[in-house]
Amino acid sequence: MIRVGFTGAGLDRADQLRLDEAALARLAAREGAAVLRLDAMDPILADDGALLWDPLDMETEAERILLGLAGETPLFAPVPRVEIGRPAWSAFPLLALMSAPDAAIWGAARSLVEWHNRHLFCGRCGAATRLFRAGWGRRCTGCGLDHFPRVDPVVIMLAEHDGRILVGRQHRYPPRRYSALAGFVEPGESIEEAVARELKEEAGVDVTDVRYVASQPWPFPGQLMIACIGTAASADVVLDDNELEDAMWVDRDGVVAALSGDPAAPFAAPPPIAIAHTLLGAWADGLAPPPGAA
Ligand SMILES: [Zn+2]
């Protein structure tokens, strides 16, 4: 199994309790019940890089999310009013210090906190919404419509041609950074169609034999990244200058060097928490060969 970032939280999400107000009250009162400590949406870490938790204050009326149960211990997240749309980069230095389960727990909390802040009012009638389902939904106080946390699918992919893969560089990337191309799946589109469309739009590359490699939640604010590889018909590239500053084909040795952080590598790879890193590694390891390959 391929290990990807923001997974492996190891919590029982206890979906069957979310609408049970009496059970939720008992959980909140349980010895050891804890609330995640957040700075707006960013994590606050102990010296050893672990997430910090506070005892649940039963007296407050503040909104909170039941993240799940760690063994018998109920874990909650607060729902502070925050500035939305913060870039992912602000949390990267802290993520580098966190364990995989802690990153997954915080990632889910971050996604939900931002979603709550984006859905304080009903999209149908404009009235205020209130948290329900233990934080896994909001219900309109005007028309009663239920709103549920969004997950937006994004395809992220490598085109492969003659032993090389295509990586691209966006204008906002740090120096030397190249990564897999990516884009949102649109309504009326399959994953395979989205992969083919994005590669055609951004790089002018036609692909066939699109195969799935792995997926990963990306909590900035709530994407599901779906990593794929497709076989390119040719190595000709026509860049969309609005999306990409540059793109290049890289062979296996170049990808391996980039993933190892070699300063002589043809590019600087994305960090291990990003699924682009996982995808490049999977390709270098031959984990998603084209159909018919030995
Ligand atoms: Zn409404």
Rounded Cα distance, 85 and 80, in Å: 15
| Separation of CA 222 and ligand 1 centre (Å) | 23
CB atoms within 10 A of CB 37: 15
| Separation of CA 150 and ligand 1 centre (Å) | 17
Q: pLDDT of 78-113, one tens digit each?
A: 999 998 877 777 788 899 899 999 999 999 999 999
| Separation of CA 202 and ligand 1 centre (Å) | 39
Quick one: average pLDDT of 34-39?
96
Quick one: average pLDDT of 67-83?
96
| Separation of CA 239 and ligand 1 centre (Å) | 44
Give pLDDT, residue 294.
Answer: 54
Residue owning tokens 């995640």: 36
CB atoms within 10 A of CB 219: 22
| Separation of CA 122 and ligand 1 centre (Å) | 5
Q: How confident is the model at residue 208 (pLDDT cuts 50, 70, 90)?
A: very high
Residue 188 has pLDDT above 80, yes or no: yes
Residue 287 has pLDDT above 70, yes or no: yes
| Separation of CA 145 and ligand 1 centre (Å) | 5
Quick one: average pLDDT of 166-185?
96
Rounded Cα distance, 194 and 280, in Å: 19
Q: How confident is the model at residue 57 (pLDDT cuts 50, 70, 90)?
A: confident
Q: Give strand pairing partners of 155.
A: 183, 226
| Separation of CA 134 and ligand 1 centre (Å) | 19
Q: Give strand pairing partners of 66.
A: 76
| Separation of CA 147 and ligand 1 centre (Å) | 9
Helix (H, G, I), strand (E, B) or coil at 224: strand
| Separation of CA 51 and ligand 1 centre (Å) | 36
Quick one: average pLDDT of 50-61?
87
For the question of whether the overall pTM of this predicted structure is more than 0.75, the answer is: yes
Residue owning tokens 């957040």: 38
| Separation of CA 129 and ligand 1 centre (Å) | 8
Residue 246 has pLDDT above 90, yes or no: yes
- Least confident range from 213-222, 230-239, 283-292: namely 283-292
| Separation of CA 121 and ligand 1 centre (Å) | 8
Q: pLDDT of 138-150, one tens digit each?
A: 999 999 999 999 9
Quick one: average pLDDT of 258-262?
97
Give pLDDT, residue 1.
Answer: 64
What lies within 8 Å, CB to CB, of 22 at 6+ separation is none
Query: Residues whose CB is under 5 A from ligand 1 (ion)?
Result: 122, 124-125, 127, 140, 142-143, 145
- Provide the percentage of residues in the chain whose pLDDT is more than 90: 87
Residue 60 has pLDDT above 80, yes or no: no
| Separation of CA 118 and ligand 1 centre (Å) | 14
| Separation of CA 36 and ligand 1 centre (Å) | 30
Tokens read off for 139: 């219900």
Quick one: average pLDDT of 156-185?
96
| Separation of CA 67 and ligand 1 centre (Å) | 26
Give pLDDT, residue 88.
Answer: 75
- Least confident range from 14-28, 83-97, 235-249: namely 83-97
Give pLDDT, residue 85.
Answer: 77
What are phi and psi for residue 218, nearest 5 degrees?
Answer: -135, 105
| Separation of CA 119 and ligand 1 centre (Å) | 11
Cβ contact 222:149 at 8 Å: yes
| Separation of CA 259 and ligand 1 centre (Å) | 48
| Separation of CA 114 and ligand 1 centre (Å) | 20
Mean of the per-residue pLDDT values of the chain: 94
Residue 49 has pLDDT above 70, yes or no: yes
